[in-house]
Amino acid sequence: MFSLDWIYYAISWILLTWHSAWDAIGVPVEAVIGTNWSWILAIIFLVVTVRVILFPVFVKQIKSQRAMQALQPKVKELQEKHKGDRETLQKEMMELYRKEKANPLMGCLPMFLQIPVFLGLFHTLKRLNPGNTQKTLYGWTVDQFNSASNAKLFTAPISGRFGSTADELARLGANTNTVKIVAGVLVLIMIATTYLTSRQMILKTGWAEDPQQRMVQRLMLYGIPVSLLVSGSIFPIGVIIYWVTNNLFTLGQQQWVLRKFPPLVPQKTGTAARNGQPVAKSSGLLGRKTAQPAAKAPAAAPKVAGPKPGAKPVNPKKGRPAKRQG
């Protein structure tokens, strides 16, 4: 059977290293405002560590999404060409992705790479119980284990869950109502920030033309936040802190990357009337408008030829009918 111990050791090492760093700096170990800030900051900077490591993968994700977006016109052509022949359509699309070196799965890669971290933290925090006899697993000392077991956020233990039973919370020395309020608020924040991270990306890059890609986008936007409403009740408070921090980090990171690599703007062919003026074509790569052609100057009035040299001047009054005398 495949062992996940290496993940638990890695997560524990990062968590304990950051806790020791904040402890050395002088961050209060004892609860202040009902919170053990050294452990809360250790969880937050676990997120920072993981996201810094995965930053190159995140940039590749953005570039892959740009490549997929640039291929949408060709994808649409294939869909029209092979309408009703799904098997041929899939083969042609896979060949197109291979030829253009675009990977539809790259968009989900950063999320998949973070799943082991989430599982490792979930397992580590679930063990935090003063009555647990196995305190020195994964490189922990007894003192570190006892300190983390008593760590709290606004008097709610970080190993407590919204769905914890009264007996479980009694062993942690926690108030049931307090844990449910703190965990419930964090779950709602987790759902909201999860939705916003997906919405931010879709608003910047647009909905995919490919039905499969659009289905993945809808799953990310609606499916995952709804599922968290149920699964969030089994997450320890420390895991929810990790998730919320990760979402906030993602929002800031996506905003920075999307500015550095602006979304593609589809090219517009022809001249569409817009207030009687031709519409400028968009540059596909940078989304900038090309300069509009200068308006043509109005045609000059035709010149009237003057009299030839030596010719008699023409009297403009001659030939006009005489005015009637009243």
Q: Which long-range contacts (CB under 8 A, 24 or more apart) does 175-178 make?
A: 178/154
Say yes or no to pLDDT of 206 above 80: no
Q: What 3-state DSSP class applies to 278? A: strand
d(CA 52, CA 101): 26
Q: Yes or no: say if 280 and 81 are a contact pair by the CB < 8 Å rule.
A: no
Who's near 185: CB < 8 A, 6+ residues apart?
none
- Helix 237-260 to helix 176-205 angle (10° resolution) is 20
Q: What is the DSSP letter of 32?
A: B
Who's near 210: CB < 8 A, 6+ residues apart?
68, 72, 75, 93, 104
Report the pLDDT value the prediction gives residue 169, as an integer from 0 to 100. Answer: 87
Say yes or no to pLDDT of 181 above 60: yes
d(CA 113, CA 277): 50
Q: What is the mean pLDDT of the chain?
A: 79
As a whole-number percent, the residues of the chain with pLDDT over 70 amount to 76
Report the pLDDT value the prediction gives residue 298, as an integer from 0 to 100. Answer: 55
Report the pLDDT value the prediction gives residue 2, as an integer from 0 to 100. Answer: 63
Say yes or no to pLDDT of 100 above 60: yes
pTM over 0.95: no
Selected residue with higher pLDDT from 299 and 218 = 218
Residue 30 has, within 13 A of its CA and on its CB side, a CA count of: 0
Q: What is the CA radius of gyration of the chain?
A: 34
Q: Yes or no: say if 124 and 7 are a contact pair by the CB < 8 Å rule.
A: no
Report the pLDDT value the prediction gives residue 300, as an integer from 0 to 100. Answer: 56
Say yes or no to pLDDT of 93 above 60: yes
**In 26-108, alpha helices (H):** 37-70, 72-81, 86-100
Report the pLDDT value the prediction gives residue 305, as an integer from 0 to 100. Answer: 55
